[in-house]
Structure 1
Amino acid sequence: MSPRIETQEPPPRSPSVRHLRQEIPDPIYPKVSTQERNSQVVLWGWTKDELHQRLYTYPVREWEGRAANTYGDIIFSSLVSLYNGYTKVMSERYLVLFSFHLLILALDNTNNDFIYEGILPLSAVEVRVISLQDSSAPHMFEISGPMVDSKIFICADAADRQCWIENINDRKCKSLRQQLSPSHSTLSYLLPCDESWKKEELKRYLLRSPVWQWEGTAIQHMGQPAYVSLVHISNMPLHRSQERLLVLFPSDLLILSVDPQRLHVKYEGRLPRKSIRALERSALPGRLEFEITGDLMEPLMVSCTYPEDYQAWIFQLQQPEKVPHTISNHTPPPLIPKKRRS
């Protein structure tokens, strides 16, 4: 028979987490099998299964980005300690592994609340076992990456650490295979580009991938993209909305379309930045719209999905053009008329 943890039965669940019991179990819990972990009480009187359900249905403080339930299944989770290598301070965190992302949550033990700290794409992280000299916490692992600050986590036991190492590596491999799969291309993995890391990857993808029906200067010669996002554009007289990918270059605003399977991009046109400007139309939630106008074009109404995209486009397209200084800073002093001789 498997070992059991003797715990007091938690009180009936209430819609408000503030009514839950206040005792917090010791984070160093007994070693149990993987199958048993999700049914054990691990935090605030909740089991892992209950915590997972809560993450899907209950708002997390300071949450950013799309809803948690859009990240797929929860593969693994546990209570860990975040180790600061400079101060040697340890603080509790709750890690949640989704299909292709790692969620980091801080704890408010006074109010039994989770606090959002970040969510990392597994394709952009590395994980390794580490050991520090003079450390009384041997079960440690580190996550790092080109776009990720190194973080060291301490697990309750060796089995818990091994679960994290194996699951992160397994899901990372699946994530990379998914990107390379013909039925799920890199482009489809990056769209919608609703996270900063996706935008950066999409910029690199566009500079090295073919664009159907391309015209004019090669995209590699247009400079480095400053911003990119998916929007809906409608021609003002016709009011027909179409999904488009806007890419902002130093001198041009590039307009691309994406096929329904998210496999290819197609050239739709470009607008010189010096001849267009953006006019705010609506900043209401669910109706983030601005108008692109110019002397030699029909007005275009652009609709954004995310507030950060709307704000970025307004900022970028309303920037005044820099006028080069035509007056030298070393202008000679004015000539003084000569005095007349008497």
Structure 2
Amino acid sequence: MGCCSVTQRHVGITEVGPDEMELLEISSPGVWGLSEMPFPSPPLSELKQDTHSSVTLVSTEGPSSQAILWGRSRQELHQLVYSKPISSWEGQSAPAYGEIVWSSVVYLHNHHTQEMTKRYLVLFSFHLLILAIDDRKQAFIYEGILPLSGTSAQALPPDSKMKDAFEINGSMVEARIFICDKSTDRAVWLENIEERRKRALSLQLSPSHSALSYLVPCDKTWKKEELKRYLLQAPIWQWEGTPIQHLGPMGYLSLVHVVNAQWQEPQERLLLLFPEDLLLLSLDSRRIQVKYEGRLPRKTIKALERSALPGRLQFELTGEFMMPLLVSCHSEEDYKTLTFQLQQPEQNSVLDQAPPPLIPKKRRS
């Protein structure tokens, strides 16, 4: 989701990942980019630069040819993630997330069943990919990808029953507990995740690196589709309730202005239609951050048309547990789609009325 146009060094990768922006910050001769480092990549704190701008790489593992899974090295597994189709994959392709920083086999702890199942974690520059493992087919199964800027990782306390485990949680994701083979593996994961999380947050706060500044206003179809993908991955301030990824497929998205009895000026909002909910989000003044404003069950609200005049496309959004909102759309397409999707059938419709009495047929003489 990066906005930089620097070409990636990884063979066969044509899309640009956000980690390329950090490569621009490293200009000293002799310093390697992430794509040039031998696998496995060491923690960032173990990259020490001397007075001659050289780099000492301290690895916590053996050589890159060491078998990690299915007799394959970590580097070979990275190539597999990049190049081979992954079952149940969703969203943009793996190369679009940039370079792989670290990966390893871990065990996912199920809180309800207390079972532990094998997983392969893949850390990109700003995302964490979770893959289930099919040993019979020697293939991966997609289970989700988490934005690091919206998550945090912490080691479980020493008195925990699970040794060498760490937990990943966040306001928009369900907490997951992963167990490593040894304490050094857990230390590598915690250090890299924290370092990348800080970088992701710092880049998100920079207007020049914000995808929102390019996608809003979403006045074109391709912008709306890209914005949908962005909102499913980016952190949303003050999020509450069910994660956005669990609300179902996003049907429609529109940037509107809303007014109610308490606001003196129209407020800009993003309206997102899900199968059972209408989600309201706001943007900050620089349009680099998204904030949660509320979620309305669609079965409790309805849209009433107020004006279909050009330049004044307005409808009223009403419901039992909300103040009426006057919604102004920017395009006729948004107006027609939203009013059609949010209209509810009238209670006293013709179908609810008693049928007319039957007229007996005339007898032939």
Given the alignment of the two structures, is residue 95 of structure 1 paired with residue 121 of structure 2, yes or no?
yes
- State the Cα distance separating 1:315 from its structure 2 match: 8.4
Q: How far apart in 1 are the matches of 2:312 and 2:62? A: 58
TM-score (norm: length of structure 1): 0.54
Say which of 185, 188, 195 aligns to 1:170. 195
Given the alignment of the two structures, is residue 160 of structure 1 paired with residue 185 of structure 2, yes or no?
yes
Whether contact under 8 Å (1:122, 1:168) holds in the other structure is yes
- State the Cα distance separating 1:192 from its structure 2 match: 3.5
Whether contact under 8 Å (2:258, 2:266) holds in the other structure is no
CA separation of 1:152/1:104 partners in 2, compared to 1, >3 Å: closer, same or farther? same
Given the alignment of the two structures, is residue 130 of structure 1 paired with residue 156 of structure 2, yes or no?
yes
TM-score (norm: length of structure 2): 0.51
Max radius of gyration: which structure? 1
CA RMSD of aligned residues (A): 4.4
Specify the code of the residue in structure 1 equivalent to 2:164: H
Given the alignment of the two structures, is residue 192 of structure 1 paired with residue 218 of structure 2, yes or no?
no
Given the alignment of the two structures, is residue 115 of structure 1 paired with residue 141 of structure 2, yes or no?
yes
Specify the code of the residue in structure 1 equivalent to 2:190: I
Q: How far apart in 1 are the matches of 2:61 and 2:346? A: 67
- State the Cα distance separating 1:272 from its structure 2 match: 2.4
Q: How far apart in 1 are the matches of 2:338 and 2:268? A: 19
Say which of 222, 247, 271 aligns to 2:313. 271
Whether contact under 8 Å (1:224, 1:249) holds in the other structure is no
Specify the code of the residue in structure 2 equivalent to 1:177: S
CA separation of 1:57/1:98 partners in 2, compared to 1, >3 Å: closer, same or farther? same
Task: Note the alpha carbon deviations across 1:233-278, whole angstroms, 9 max, x for none.
Answer: xxxxxxxxxxxxxxx889xxxxx9xxxx9879xxx9663247xxxx
Q: How far apart in 1 are the matches of 2:184 and 2:227? A: 37
- State the Cα distance separating 1:114 from its structure 2 match: 0.3
Equivalent residues in 2 for 1:1-342, closer than 5 Å:
33-34=59-60, 36=62, 38-131=64-157, 133=159, 135=161, 137-185=162-210, 187-188=212-213, 192-198=227-233, 201=236, 217=259, 225-227=270-272, 271-273=313-315, 300=333, 317-323=340-346
Q: How far apart in 2 are the matches of 1:269 and 1:37? A: 65
Specify the code of the residue in structure 2 equivalent to 1:318: Q
Whether contact under 8 Å (2:258, 2:267) holds in the other structure is no
Q: Which runs of 5+ in 1 are unaligned?
A: 1-31, 205-213, 230-247, 251-255, 275-296, 303-312, 327-342
Higher RCO by CA contacts (8 Å cutoff, separation 6 or greater): 2
Task: Note the alpha carbon deviations across 1:263-318, whole angstroms, 9 max, x for none.
Answer: 79xxx9663247xxxxxxxxxxxxxxxxxxxxxx996599xxxxxxxxxx968743
Q: How many residues align?
A: 225
| Partner of residue 15, structure 1 | none
Q: How far apart in 2 are the matches of 1:71 and 1:152? A: 23
* Percentage of pairs with the same residue: 40
CA separation of 1:39/1:315 partners in 2, compared to 1, >3 Å: closer, same or farther? farther
Q: How far apart in 2 are the matches of 1:170 and 1:271? A: 47
Whether contact under 8 Å (2:258, 2:269) holds in the other structure is no
